[in-house]
């Protein structure tokens, strides 16, 4: 007696198994899509978070009492803050890039706490204060490191966010390779509205990608640097060429006959000294000495808008004891220190922030459109695969005569 059993075709079974694994692989990428969308969305909001605070909180606005009002000098601001809060010790005064914002004055108190005062640059009035996370700090922390604490070095959130630069850069390169003659999207952009959602989102994804090429490249390169920066820092590897922090020598810290420390030079004098030493420098930040041997630090932007130039000035005689110019940095430092301002766009005023915001929204929508297209195709393929699954067949033996 011999019996034969009809079996499912082996090739068909292997293809079916491969299709199942491909679908599992596709669905497993969904969290990455969602994470990328979240990071792009929070990054777009973070770009204009300072402007959102300006709209919501009148305390951070620079309200001029008259159209021809002049901004106060650093000494006038210092005197106004000391008069309004005599128990506070002014640590620094910062002028924002955008003139519509109030000054940020960092102060410390006798109980060890500190805070930031919002001071009107025209009147010296303290309009408000904050000592913790405001919306701007919250959304930037959410975007940059997922609000995870920095316990020992850079946290996991920082690595997770910055690592997204790798698939972003790969997507940019492969997209340019796959999309032949992509430059036609600049000359003849096509966005079809009347041929269904799939066609519309496909056109939008390609068009958004083409117009966002420079922005995606900037975000990818700067994001990769953040990843490298964290790795170098956690490995205690430094690329800085800066030497020992400058201090005022003990013999250069004069005392009066009564044993009291001699008075400091004015902050406006220190700012003027900085501009005199580096012509074209616009002083935007002044840090007061924390001890008798600390110099006054003045920061400002010169010809290269991405980086600050820094001067340390003897608070007693006004001599410049240290200068850190843009040209003093190595080529590697110039590149790496430019990464953060390039990533945030916070160095040239409101117009650039709005450009970054618009491209950030475009990038976010591009990720969303790609996720919608990918999800729909994967869902359709999954349904089709389930429908093609073979049903179990009963084993039938056929008797064959000997």
Using one digit for the tens of pLDDT, what is the confidence trace for 342-351?
Answer: 999 988 888 9
Is residue 205 one of the residues assigned to a domain?
A: no
- Give the residue-averaged pLDDT of 312-324: 93
Is residue 97 one of the residues assigned to a domain?
A: no
- Give the residue-averaged pLDDT of 209-226: 94
pLDDT at residue 400, as a whole number: 38
Using one digit for the tens of pLDDT, what is the confidence trace for 355-395?
Answer: 999 999 999 999 998 888 788 877 777 777 777 655 454 44
**What 3-state class would DSSP assign to 253?**
coil
The angle that helices 350-388 and 10-28 make with each other, rounded to 10 degrees, is: 150
Domain at 287, CATH number: 3.10.450
Give me the chain's average pLDDT, please.
86
Is residue 269 one of the residues assigned to a domain?
A: yes
Q: Going by C-beta distance under 8 Å and a sequence separation of 6 or more, which residues neighbour residue 384? A: none
pLDDT at residue 369, as a whole number: 87
For residue 292, the enclosing domain spans: 246-254+261-328
Give me the number of domains the chain comprises: 1
The answer to whether 366 touches 208, Cβ cutoff 8 Å, is yes
Is residue 119 one of the residues assigned to a domain?
A: no
Using one digit for the tens of pLDDT, what is the confidence trace for 91-104?
Answer: 999 998 888 899 99
pLDDT value at 299 more than 90: yes
Is residue 271 one of the residues assigned to a domain?
A: yes
pLDDT at residue 19, as a whole number: 62
Sheet of strand 89-94, all strands in order from the earlier edge strand to the far edge:
126-130, 114-119, 103-108, 89-94, 282-287, 296-301, 309-313, 320-324
Using one digit for the tens of pLDDT, what is the confidence trace for 14-66?
Answer: 555 556 665 665 566 678 889 999 999 999 999 999 999 999 999 999 988 88
pLDDT at residue 399, as a whole number: 43
pLDDT at residue 162, as a whole number: 97
Is residue 369 one of the residues assigned to a domain?
A: no
Using one digit for the tens of pLDDT, what is the confidence trace for 177-203?
Answer: 877 778 888 888 888 888 888 888 888
The answer to whether 314 touches 247, Cβ cutoff 8 Å, is no
Q: Going by C-beta distance under 8 Å and a sequence separation of 6 or more, which residues neighbour residue 251? A: none
């Amino acid at each position: 007696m011999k019996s034969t059993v009809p079996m499912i075709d082996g090739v068909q079974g292997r293809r079916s198994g491969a299709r199942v694994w491909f679908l599992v692989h596709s669905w497993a990428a969904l969290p990455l899509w969602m994470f990328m969308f979240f990071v792009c969305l929070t990054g777009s909001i973070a770009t204009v978070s300072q402007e959102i605070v300006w709209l919501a909180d009148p305390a951070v606005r620079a309200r001029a009492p008259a159209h021809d009002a002049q901004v106060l000098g650093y000494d006038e601001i210092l005197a106004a803050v000391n008069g309004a809060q005599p128990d506070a010790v002014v640590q620094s005064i910062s002028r924002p890039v955008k003139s519509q914002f109030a000054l940020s004055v960092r102060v410390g108190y006798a109980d060890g706490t500190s805070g930031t005062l919002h001071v009107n640059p025209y009147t010296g009035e303290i309009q408000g204060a904050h000592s913790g996370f405001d919306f701007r700090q919250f959304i930037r922390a959410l975007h940059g490191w997922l609000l995870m604490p920095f316990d020992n070095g850079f946290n996991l959130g920082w690595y997770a966010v910055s690592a997204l630069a790798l698939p972003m850069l790969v997507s940019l390169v492969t997209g340019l390779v796959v999309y032949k003659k992509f430059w036609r999207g600049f000359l003849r952009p096509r966005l079809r509205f009347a041929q269904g959602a799939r066609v519309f989102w496909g056109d939008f994804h390609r068009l958004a990608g083409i117009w966002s090429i420079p922005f995606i490249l900037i975000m990818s390169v700067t994001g990769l640097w953040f990843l490298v920066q964290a790795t170098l820092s956690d490995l205690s590897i430094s690329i800085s060429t800066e030497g020992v922090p400058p201090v005022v020598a003990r013999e250069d810290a004069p005392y009066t006959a009564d044993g009291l420390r001699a008075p400091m030079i004015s902050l406006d004098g220190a700012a003027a000294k900085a501009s005199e030493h580096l012509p074209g420098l616009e002083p935007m930040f002044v840090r007061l000495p924390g001890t008798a041997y600390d110099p006054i630090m003045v920061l400002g932007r010169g010809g290269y808008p991405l980086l600050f130039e820094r001067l340390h000035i003897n608070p007693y005689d006004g001599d410049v004891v240290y200068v850190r110019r843009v040209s003093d940095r190595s080529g590697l430092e110039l590149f790496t220190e430019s990464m953060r301002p390039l990533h945030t766009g916070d160095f040239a005023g409101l117009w650039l922030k709005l450009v970054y915001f618009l491209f950030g929204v475009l990038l976010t929508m591009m990720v969303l459109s790609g996720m919608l297209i990918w999800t729909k195709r994967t869902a359709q393929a999954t349904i089709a695969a389930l429908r093609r699954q073979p049903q179990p067949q009963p084993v039938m033996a056929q008797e064959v005569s000997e």
